[in-house]
Structure 1
Amino acid sequence: MTSAIRCTLGLLACLLASPATPLHAEVKTVTDVIGRTVKADLPAKRVLLGFYFEDFMAVGGPNAFDSVVGISRDAWAGWVPANWAMHVAARPSLDTIADVGEVEAQTFSVEKVLALKPDLVVLADWQYKALGLDADRIEESGIPILVVDFNAQTLERHLASARVLGEATGQAARAAEIADLYQTAMKDVAARIAKAGKPKPKVYVEFGNKGPAEHSFTYGKNMWGAMATAAGGDNIAAPFVEWWGPINPEKVLAANPDAIFISGRENNKNETAMTMGQKVDAADAERKLAAFANRPGWSQVTAIKNGKLFGVYQGASRTLSDFAMAQFIAKQLYPEQFADVDPLKNYLAYYEKYLPVRPAGTFVVSWKKP
């Protein structure tokens, strides 16, 4: 086993300190993840941050949010409120950062962005595309936009996005370190799967926000779909869903998956929804997960027959820490090849190393078949 792989499996013991030294700004030309050439005064002093808040903080270091003047608050405080509360407890000034609205909810305000006079706007690829002409208005006002993308869940875009954030924050070396960690972990996953020498198990992943009574989103090319593929799974939704969306429940039964993963988060309007994340009790998560096993027809599915039903944290996807979720999925599909890998330990070790908070809750869970 190489030293790089040993580092992946024991992060706390192997990773070195990465000081976040302030740098003087200068005009730089950066190519973002969608191939746009952007000129900006970097590291930026006044940043408008649309998404990927923890990634910006992990790459930029403990003082990264000193330069953030505005955020799409609901994409953090609204979607994963317990995670937001954890960060506010560690850094109360987060609660005073201006809110410019949220793109998906169509509350994003260009006027609020311009009023804050940022010298850089950092947006997710999906936000940039959804804003369309509004993004053009921001750039026409003289404010550069850098686009990053962790939603694609490809190794290439994860690494490129980390490096773009490194340029934005003036922490290129720290970004390179985290990118190397991610790349090493994912290459290790691929190498172990290659040695398994068996057909890829069929996998179904669903966002459990609607509870067991109604099928919610599954994933094709991106997010959990891409992660399931990277983890050595044959994603049964891929022929039916390009990015994300529901599929006919009968197609799930017909595909007969070998393993099923239900993602959940802390903030759920539906009381029966899958609950995962910060401050979530494991017993509650297990109870919510067990209800999915009782869906009509699922008792005849191979995954349920063999007890291969799992819960994963929605907030641990589309981020630089999600290599641990890929490890978890791979470990359930190829237990012998990943016997010495502790995905949860690696997930928490990433926070210990790169972020100022210590998560406590339920981030992965396995169904206990009766």
Structure 2
Amino acid sequence: MSGLAALLSVFVVASPVMAEMKTITDVIGREVKVDLPAKRVVLGFYFEDYMAVGGEKAYDSVVGISREAWVGKVPANWKMHVAHRPSLADITDVGEVDTQTFSVEKVLSLNPDLVILADWQFKALGLDAERLVKQGIPVVVVDYNAQTVERHVASTRLFGQLTGQDQRGNEIADLYQGAMKDIADRVAKSGKPKPKVYVEFGNKGPAEYSFTYGKNMWGAMSTLAGGDNIAAPFVEWWGPINPEQVLVAKPDVIFISGREDNKNPTAMPMGPGVKEADARKNLKAFETRQGWSELPAIKNGKLFGVYQGGSRTLSDFALVQYIAKQLYPEQFGDVDPIANYLGYYKKYLPVTPEGTFAIAVTE
């Protein structure tokens, strides 16, 4: 009995060290009380970033995910991670905001001590997110979609706090901030006028214009890379632009983003498992769009493909480097963006993708 009493006394003393109630401020300025490190987590988005910061072991505490946000947006990435860690496929799916299948009841049934949502998910859920808060469940908002250094860094430090990996979170946040400062410094030294840039999601192929980007994602990345985003005056976040406006703007450089799992055979293929030859073939077809042969970007061979999944994530510093290198080649001659992209995976994640993540129309 005395031995058990001694064990219990140790437990009572030790438990506050293992878990501590803290008040943190999320990326939209909400103060949230969370028992850290969290033990039962529902994760809405940014799955790979959570793993990069918290380590693979952080997923031992994840009890629910919005699976379609992973499987649907970057399917090859999901398969790569599940092949390494099959238990990911066993995590309960709580539904996805985009497809209007997110279930508050499913989340509540998991008895979570923390729900992490992307800013766009939190806003879209509205009253449903408030229901979770009213039930006493801490909801923390993070944001990589904004593609600002400030929010990338803040979200990364938050992941460090939430997973009990503050040091690792600070290290990756500093790496990202340092990489972006290096880009800005190099661009500033160029002394050149900002090249005009157009970025389009190539999911519809060359026959139909798809989304371009204004303030966030590829639009913000182009701006961070020192480009003058021609869509910014016409598209706030993302959406189509009048094809005539592209012709009038005469972009100096064009980027077509692509994904790894397209139903449209003419769509831009990019990402894990994609061969360079296939990506270049489909990229080249965009040159045939009406009026594009007269654009400076096409005349000068400045048409490029980039991986859609390489945005809104911590590894996107390498894609910003790639964009900047195409805009200011003299300033980035010693930078190998794709080596940096893969190097990030090798250092911070348990898997390293193989495929095509950025490509020029000319070999």
Asked if these proteins are the same fold (TM beyond 0.5), I'd say yes
Find 1:184's aligned residue among 178, 200, 203: 178
Amino acid across the alignment from 1:187 = K
State TM-score, norm by structure 1: 0.93
Taking CA–CA contacts closer than 8 Å with sequence separation of 6 or more, which of the two structures ends up with the larger relative contact order? 1
Question: Which residue of the partner structure matches residue 131 of structure 2?
Answer: 137
Deviation at 1:239, TM superposition (A): 0.4
Match of 2:18, SS state, is coil
Classify the secondary structure of the residue corresponding to 1:268: coil
Which among 270, 294, 300 is matched to residue 276 of structure 1? 270
Which residue does 1:19 correspond to in 2? none
Is this contact kept in 2: 1:48–1:120, CA < 8 A? yes
C-alpha distance in structure 2 between counterparts of 1:69 and 1:282, whole Å = 38
Counterparts of residues 110-259 of structure 1 (less than 5 Å)? 110-259=104-253
1:67 pairs with one of 43, 49, 61:
61
1:287 aligns with 2:281: yes
Partner secondary structure for residue 225 of structure 1 = helix
Residue of 347, 354, 361 corresponding to 2:348: 354
Q: Which amino acid aligns with 1:124?
A: A
User: What is the aligned counterpart of 1:310 among 300, 304, 308?
Assistant: 304
The yes-or-no answer on 1:329 pairing with 2:336 is no
Aligned sequence identity (%): 74
TM-score (normalizing by structure 2): 0.95
| Greater Rg over alpha carbons, structure | 2
Query: How far apart are 1:269 and its partner, in Å?
Result: 2.1
User: Structure 2 CA distance, aligned partners of 1:268 and 1:48?
Assistant: 29
Unaligned segments of structure 1, at least 5 residues: 1-22
* 1:62 Cα deviation after fit: 2.1
Verify the 8 A CA contact 1:221 1:238 in the aligned structure 2.
yes
Q: Do 1:290 and 1:367's aligned partners in 2 also have CA atoms closer than 8 Å? A: yes
CA distance in 2, matches of 1:351, 1:186: 18
Cα contact 1:83–1:278 (8 A) shared by 2: yes
Aligned length: 347
Residues 211-245 of structure 1 show CA distances to partners (whole Å, capped at 9, x for unaligned) of 11110110000000000000000000000001100
1:349 partner amino acid: G
Q: Hey, what's the Cα distance between the residues in 1 that align with 2:23 and 2:205?
A: 46
Equivalent residue number for residue 92 of structure 1: 86
Query: What residue in structure 2 maps to residue 299 of structure 1?
Result: 293
Q: Secondary structure at the match of 2:315?
A: coil
- The CA RMSD measured in Å over matched residues stands at 0.8
2:337 pairs, out of 330, 334, 343, with: 343
Write out per-residue CA displacement over residues 328-352 of structure 1, whole angstroms, 9 at most, x where no aligned residue.
Answer: 0000000000000000000000000
Does structure 2 retain, via aligned residues, the 8 Å contact 1:82–1:266?
yes
